[in-house]
Structure 1
Amino acid sequence: MKSYSANWVWLKLLCLTIIATLTFEHSALDVRISEIFYVNGHWLLEKGAQPYALIFYDGPKALLIILSIYLLIVLIIRYKQPVDANLSLNTLKPNRLMIPLSAREICYLLTIIILAPTSIALLKGVTHVSCPNHLTLFGGELPYLNLWQNMVANTPAKCFPAAHASAGFSLYGLAFLPTLHKYRYKIFAAVTVLGWTMGLYKMLFGDHFFSHTLVSMLLSLTIACALACIFFKRTTNSLILR
């Protein structure tokens, strides 16, 4: 019974994502939170203002791209020169630039880092939800519509869910790696802080509502969990249930 429930945790997360979408996407809470960042007709932060854009936008994106390239290089080396999983860390000292992860774990990480932001970016093109700074409520030109109304109206905006934050949340995949199992709670906490920091940055100048980042977080976690069930069939139960 435990085995069955563990393999379906991702489905429960998906249901939670849908509930969060329907509950928060068009709610007074979203507007009230954005009003905190919109004072006297101006957002607390100007879009593209430095050094904030470098620290919270360009910097994280660049680091994630570098990480992906590094993982790809390591994966290629792994396949060309397989490493015995039973080798000690001392044995691996000559290759200290190589992370002690298996080829399967690296493939999983690369997949989630690419798939989570890509899936959310595709959803943005379907939902057509406006950003707060597009709305008449916050000095813009578009009316405040719910998700379905935006889809029917086919508005030009593409702001839901939050794609930028999803790049940070994609690192939830680290928490599902068997090799890093004992650090999973610390990883989960660190990635949550990272993703919300990236999401909050965009909220400060009206590029996203609170719900946009919340749904991005839940959907990224759902994808990470579902992929873990595929990549690590034999270990996923213990990773999730313990």
Structure 2
Amino acid sequence: VIDTIASGSVISEIVDDEKTYFIHPISGEIINVKINHQYAGAEIIFEGKYSTTNYEWVARLGVNSAVKVKTEDNISGNYISNSDAIISEIALGYHYKKSDHAGIILESHVIPPYNLPDAVALFDLMPPHENSIHLGTYFQVENPKFGLWNNLNFRGSGYLKQLDFDGEQYIDYGFTFGLGLEYIANTQTFDIAIRTGKKESYIIKGQNEDYISIHFGITTGEKWFVKRR
């Protein structure tokens, strides 16, 4: 048996059938790394809308200012990173109102990578450039009688996204199904939605990731603060 460990003396020897295992003492050192990032920046959003009785068009433009990141590092020292201002979002939307209670919505989004300085990117992974298209429909059921609840809202949609990581493109697609309840004179809303989809894995090449998520939302209005007498 040849001992291939160059440092440390043998303090124990274990023989298992025809194999011999040597145990060596090992000395180590624990290093505590503490890094703190402070971000400073701003975003401006421009949005325009054109509406008729049955149609609605919406355009949206987002602009991110330059981002300044101050990093406090107990190992490498403190430093400041900066990035340039960018266009953060371009979006177009079309809404066809079939009636007062039903319609179809089509949206397209272009979302460039967030202008985060490379020096503070987590795991050296920058956000992707995203192109997406969304198609959805909704239907609203009114309560014909006066009561606690007013409307039931049913929603369904599908989406297709293209994620670009420095020239490597991945596809993400899925569907969402939602149910909403409006109550107390339409001032309160409770929503629940399920999203399911599949996307190409960025970590494991050639593999797909299936996912499902559940989302809850509550919107409150001024009726919460009205005193009853």
| TM superposition score category, shorter chain reference | under 0.3
**Bigger-Rg structure (1/2):** 2
TM-score under structure 1 normalisation?
A: 0.23
Higher strand fraction (1 or 2) = 2
TM-score under structure 2 normalisation?
A: 0.24
